[in-house]
Amino acid sequence: MATHRLDDLDRAIIRTFTDDPHVGVLAASRQLGVARGTVTARLARLSDSGVIASWAPHLDPAALGHPVTAMVTLQIRQVAGHDAVVEHLAGIPQVLEVHTITGYGDLFVRVVARSNADLQDVLDEVTAHEHVVRASTNIALATRIAHRTLPLVG
């Protein structure tokens, strides 16, 4: 995967849109003291290179009625590979992320639920696949640092 080097203007544009996603290109260009076309071109380049991964809204699962977050480590049967289990997990709406990992377990899964009782139902669905051998679950009690990427910008 190719990496994209950010210059000072790229970083300023990213910070501007992170601080106020509704700022708009014209307002951003005025704040940054550059032409609107420059901001538009930079945003296009940052999007095309994958630095800006999405313009979609960031949703809060708790506000959608899913205040319980848990991290699940799955051990799977290696005979079929990860694909079949990942496809199964992709069909579960409460599964937010799945990562292949090293160490104990094979997949790391972030799930949400409406309650602890609902979490049990979600876990039952997660582990219902024939290639899931074992699951270990940790419930998140509080979010101390939410998902972030802005510090990587520098």
CATH of the domain at 39: 1.10.10
- Do 19 and 42 reside in the same domain of the chain? yes
Number of domains in the chain: 2
Is 149 inside any structural domain?
no
- Do 69 and 131 reside in the same domain of the chain? yes
Is 98 inside any structural domain?
yes
Rounded to 10°, the helix 36-48/25-32 angle is: 110
- Do 125 and 82 reside in the same domain of the chain? yes
Can you tell me which residue has the tokens 């190719």?
2
- Do 91 and 121 reside in the same domain of the chain? yes
Q: How far apart, in whole angstroms, are the C-alpha atoms of residue 29 and residue 16?
A: 10
Does the pLDDT at position 30 exceed 80? yes
Enter the tokens of residue 24.
Answer: 């708009």
> What's residue 1's pLDDT?
55
User: Phi and psi of 70, rounded to 5°?
Assistant: -140, 150
Q: In this structure, what CATH number is given to the domain that contains residue 75?
A: 3.30.70.920
> What's residue 2's pLDDT?
61
DSSP bridge partners of 80: none
Q: Region 80-105: what's the mean pLDDT? A: 95
- HSE of 144, CA atoms in CB hemisphere, 13 A: 2
Is 29 inside any structural domain?
yes
Q: Region 49-60: what's the mean pLDDT? A: 92
DSSP bridge partners of 108: 73, 99
Is 68 inside any structural domain?
yes
Is 107 inside any structural domain?
yes
Is 76 inside any structural domain?
yes
Does the pLDDT at position 140 exceed 60? yes
Is 111 inside any structural domain?
yes
Does the pLDDT at position 89 exceed 90? yes
- Do 91 and 24 reside in the same domain of the chain? no
Q: Region 145-154: what's the mean pLDDT? A: 91
pTM of the model: 0.88
Q: What is the extent of the structural domain holding 68?
A: 61-140
Is 114 inside any structural domain?
yes
Quickly list H helices, the chain. Answer: 8-19, 25-32, 36-48, 83-90, 116-126, 150-153
- Do 105 and 134 reside in the same domain of the chain? yes
